Structure 1
Amino acid sequence: MPSKKIKVQIMSPNLLDNDYLVLGEQLIRQWRIPIHYPIQLAFGSFRHTVKVIPLARFDGVRISQELAGKMGVLPRSSLRLSYRPHSTTLQFGPLVGVLISRDYAGASDRPFGPITMFCRELVKACQRQGVYVYFFTPNHIGTTSKSLQAWVFGDSWKQITVPAADVFYNRLTTRKLENKPSVQHFMKEVKSRYGSHFFNEKFLDKTEVFDALGRDVSVSRYLPESHLFRGYPTLKMMCGKHPIVFLKPIKGSLGKGIIRISRLEGGGYQSMTALVGGTKRQVYSSLTKLYSALSPKMKTTRYQIQQGLVLIESDRRPVDFRALVQKNRSGAWNITSIVARTAGSQHFVSNLARGGSLSTVKEAVSRSSLPIGVKSRVSAQLRKAALDIARGVDAQISAHFGELGIDLAVDHHGRIWLLEVNSKPSKNDNTPMGGSKIRPSVKQVIEYARYLSGF
């Protein structure tokens, strides 16, 4: 059944009873909605029995102030409306809940700190499509999953009680918060009890991704040799096969703690460790001495050891590529953007947090030493690789993802390699925010939420 974006008018208590709802005659006829007969009103987990009153030449919906309060709907909202005849249910929505890490109740203009503008952009995108969105943190989760306190935006930010959403979008930034028993219990409850969808429901670690994708023949060609680091024998084996290897924390992000190990021509080994202010270089006369120096770190952090690649360069700095891959209005993976990331002058990793810079794929590839015939194919090959890998993650990992940040590399032969898959991609790697413009990455999140909820 199709849905229709419709304006919600909230009536004062003496003008409309809580158990009645006013709709235009034309929509009632078109959808064959029974009038003066009890039907179910649904909004997320909220349910209420109402009778529909027809009104001539009216194109909105009127509900009582009390009913709006129970639904958590603000004045002047526009929502999508759909009628499900098999269950005689009039459904408002979709209702989308965004789970974020923290809020600042005292800062009414910036309640979510640095991501407040992103949240406002989501609100704007939802308003245009007739979607209702709220924001909550793990601290808002109470003893019942049926409703919770959350932030909504009308004329300003405020907290109200809202029902459990049709679709939840997980934007938690730490594994510690995501693994809290209250969060895990809430996720299971809303899915089993109300049929809610919860996407980007977990962080990925490097070992899990590479082991899973290694089982997929359509994706394995993009994978550099990679193993869970298990001690000196693993290091010796990988350094014997590859002139450069990388040690990456399996739960790391933003390039933190990555160690690059390379064989030196005159003998011995060099390690380069990514630090906030630059790179720490050390030289060792043997692999055993290098391992002895690194082993204290290995006791507290689990690492993935990965084949080093000779990447294309721009101005003698290594370049890699971040593809933002999202599911669209049809539920299929789609490339939203691909950007090139060039490492900063004092770094060997390309993250913006480590001084890296962004450019278009075309600009970065044109400045590389790849042959002209290879350069012309790189963009299409990156797109194909990103889609192949996203589909591989879906097929091989039992979790629900709606968007992925996929880091890819191109070596000096033009071959595409996977570096990393991130299930909580930053929203700052595409078009800058500003004005009334809504970035494609934000619009796509809402489109996918509509697909999941049937609106």
Structure 2
Amino acid sequence: MRKHYLIEVVQNDQLIIFCPPALVYDKQIKGIAFGSQSMEVEFLPHPDQDDRIVISRKIQEAIQFPHFKVPLHAFVENEVLYIGPLVGIFTAGFTSIPQQPIGERTLFFSKLLSVNKSVGVLPFVFGEQHIDWEQGVIEGYFFHDDGWQTVPVPFPNVIYDRLPNRKSEGNPKLIKVRERLQKEYLIPWYNPGFFNKLDIYERLQQDASITNYLPETYPFTSFSDIETMLAKYGHVFIKPKNGSLGLGVHQVIYDKHTDVYYCRYQDNQGVNRLRKYSSLERLFQSVFAHQALEKMLVQQGIHLLRNEQRAVDFRVHTNKDDQGKWHVTAIAAKIAGSGSVTTHARSGGNIKTINEIFPAEECDLYKEKLSNAALLLSTALDANVEGIIGEIGFDLGIDRNGEIWLFEANSKPGRSIFSHPELKEFDYLTRKLSIGFAVFLTEQSLLHPEELFK
């Protein structure tokens, strides 16, 4: 386990840093760096303290170090002592309300930043409007002592992308900021984009180790393809390639005994509907009259396990830790609402722990199956998707034969499962690891930058 050091600021103007002897022993250190700021200083061993680094007020001001008394990591590379890491969390949607600077997402960000002491990092939130390119400074939002403070800090060691939606992600101004910070300043940027369902499916198809988890999935091309899949599976799902929150998902069912078609979906008023049609053409003319079908995909229907006559799927979170290793950090069962095509809460779904769904023996079996699948899929996505991925939220299904299926992978997973009281500790674990991964990236950027920026 890496050691954390308290950074103590003393009121003098000396350019001298006192360090634990073990940190400076047998090393030639000539400078200190915090984020993008650095300066030359003299280093002396601190004979009495092995848990703190003592800097002067003059050094603190020069490197723009905010004195929040958070134990931090220390890395020595190329004769420089790096303290931090300073982690920038990039987002959009800021307000002018001091107590709610990021609107309705303020609570999420306050909880995310509150892991700082246990992880040993200084995280802050910022948007493109807070960057001063000329000075190389960002007006960062820090959550400290249960309140928000804005403090000018250097450019960070690492940036964690928390843009809220595809619209902000596609904003040309924000794209330019990301490219500039990555390419000009060589700052590692992780979780850089929302996944396209079809693109993810096609990339994962290249990896033979996980194809057994993938339901047949195709871009919408013709009615005949859907007829073929209905004959084979009895039902299919038609969903937007870039959808989220279960919006726009339709289940099409064919009853071969009566030769009729059914469509289950949620209408524009949020009401769950089940409609009956004499032909597939009539179904499409009625339900999809105003839909851009070229933006849809068709996916094999799976006969899922059920709980009290309702379909169940599973949200499985995976995170990389401060060693860059994948872990399963949360598993929850999502129960479909009455008449709903999805298990989302907005469609009447509800959350249960996996222990509430299965008896003890089955529970252990399915936990292991879901965890193994999620870790294999995480590794496969890591290898086949551009950018640095630090967390994924998988929607997995278990069919009546006990086989695991991947429905969706989410690069910015929602947090709704953590409303369940028994999942609070996993809420904390996912936040801790999502910030802790920045420690690994900081170390990699110092030791092996060619690996990150290849």
Query: How far is 1:404 from its partner?
Result: 0.3
Asked whether the equivalents of residues 317 and 392 of structure 2 are also in contact (C-alpha less than 8 Å), the reply is: yes
Asked whether the equivalents of residues 75 and 443 of structure 2 are also in contact (C-alpha less than 8 Å), the reply is: no
Q: Which residue among 389, 392, 396 is the counterpart of 1:404? A: 392
Amino acid corresponding to residue 110 of structure 1 in structure 2: Q
* Aligned pairs (5 A) from 1:135-154: 135-141=125-131, 143=133, 146-154=136-144
* Aligned pairs (5 A) from 1:404-443: 404-430=392-418, 439-443=428-432
Give yes or no for the alignment of 1:94 onto 2:85: yes
Amino acid corresponding to residue 377 of structure 1 in structure 2: L
Amino acid corresponding to residue 176 of structure 1 in structure 2: K
CA separation of 1:167 and 1:267: change in aligned 2, threshold 3 A: same
Give yes or no for the alignment of 1:119 onto 2:118: no
Asked whether the equivalents of residues 145 and 186 of structure 1 are also in contact (C-alpha less than 8 Å), the reply is: no
Query: What is the CA–CA distance in structure 2 between the aligned matches of 1:336 and 1:400, rounded to whole Å?
Result: 19
CA separation of 1:362 and 1:414: change in aligned 2, threshold 3 A: same
Asked whether the equivalents of residues 247 and 259 of structure 1 are also in contact (C-alpha less than 8 Å), the reply is: yes
Partner in structure 2 of residue 354 of structure 1: 347
Partner in structure 1 of residue 178 of structure 2: 187
Q: Which residue among 247, 261, 283 is the counterpart of 2:276? A: 283
Query: How far is 1:146 from its partner?
Result: 3.7
Give yes or no for the alignment of 1:109 onto 2:123: no
Partner in structure 2 of residue 44 of structure 1: 35
Query: How far is 1:56 from its partner?
Result: 4.8
CA separation of 1:318 and 1:438: change in aligned 2, threshold 3 A: closer
Amino acid corresponding to residue 336 of structure 2 in structure 1: A
Asked whether the equivalents of residues 260 and 271 of structure 1 are also in contact (C-alpha less than 8 Å), the reply is: yes
Q: Please report the TM-score for the alignment, with normalisation by the length of structure 2.
A: 0.87
Question: Secondary structure of the equivalent of 1:439?
Answer: helix
Question: Secondary structure of the equivalent of 2:392?
Answer: strand
Question: Secondary structure of the equivalent of 2:16?
Answer: strand
Question: Secondary structure of the equivalent of 2:5?
Answer: strand
Give yes or no for the alignment of 1:75 onto 2:89: no
Q: Please report the TM-score for the alignment, with normalisation by the length of structure 1.
A: 0.87
Post-superposition Cα deviations, 1:396-434, rounded to whole Å, max 9, x if no partner, equal: 222221100011001111111111100001234247599
Structure 2 stretches lacking a partner, 5+ long? 445-454
Query: What is the CA–CA distance in structure 1 between the aligned matches of 2:69 and 2:26, rounded to whole Å?
Result: 22
* Aligned pairs (5 A) from 1:163-312: 163-264=154-255, 265-275=257-267, 277-299=270-292, 302-312=295-305
Asked whether the equivalents of residues 126 and 139 of structure 2 are also in contact (C-alpha less than 8 Å), the reply is: yes
Amino acid corresponding to residue 13 of structure 2 in structure 1: L
Partner in structure 1 of residue 124 of structure 2: 134
Amino acid corresponding to residue 124 of structure 2 in structure 1: Y
Give yes or no for the alignment of 1:314 onto 2:307: yes
Partner in structure 2 of residue 23 of structure 1: 18
Asked whether the equivalents of residues 139 and 151 of structure 2 are also in contact (C-alpha less than 8 Å), the reply is: yes
Query: How far is 1:145 from its partner?
Result: 9.4
Question: Secondary structure of the equivalent of 2:150?
Answer: strand
CA separation of 1:305 and 1:141: change in aligned 2, threshold 3 A: farther
Query: What is the CA–CA distance in structure 1 between the aligned matches of 2:306 and 2:425, rounded to whole Å?
Result: 36
Query: What is the CA–CA distance in structure 2 between the aligned matches of 1:218 and 1:435, rounded to whole Å?
Result: 33
Query: What is the CA–CA distance in structure 2 between the aligned matches of 1:9 and 1:363, rounded to whole Å?
Result: 49
Give yes or no for the alignment of 1:395 onto 2:383: yes
Partner in structure 1 of residue 452 of structure 2: none
Query: What is the CA–CA distance in structure 2 between the aligned matches of 1:221 and 1:454, rounded to whole Å?
Result: 36
Post-superposition Cα deviations, 1:22-63, rounded to whole Å, max 9, x if no partner, equal: 3146356536455xxxx2221122222223355553553344
CA separation of 1:82 and 1:291: change in aligned 2, threshold 3 A: same
Question: Secondary structure of the equivalent of 1:358?
Answer: strand
Q: CA RMSD in A?
A: 2.9
Post-superposition Cα deviations, 1:122-152, rounded to whole Å, max 9, x if no partner, equal: 3331123321111012433454694322211
Asked whether the equivalents of residues 150 and 160 of structure 1 are also in contact (C-alpha less than 8 Å), the reply is: yes
Structure 1 stretches lacking a partner, 5+ long? 367-371
Query: What is the CA–CA distance in structure 2 between the aligned matches of 1:322 and 1:437, rounded to whole Å?
Result: 12
Q: Percent identity?
A: 27
Asked whether the equivalents of residues 244 and 308 of structure 1 are also in contact (C-alpha less than 8 Å), the reply is: yes
Query: What is the CA–CA distance in structure 2 between the aligned matches of 1:29 and 1:383, rounded to whole Å?
Result: 42
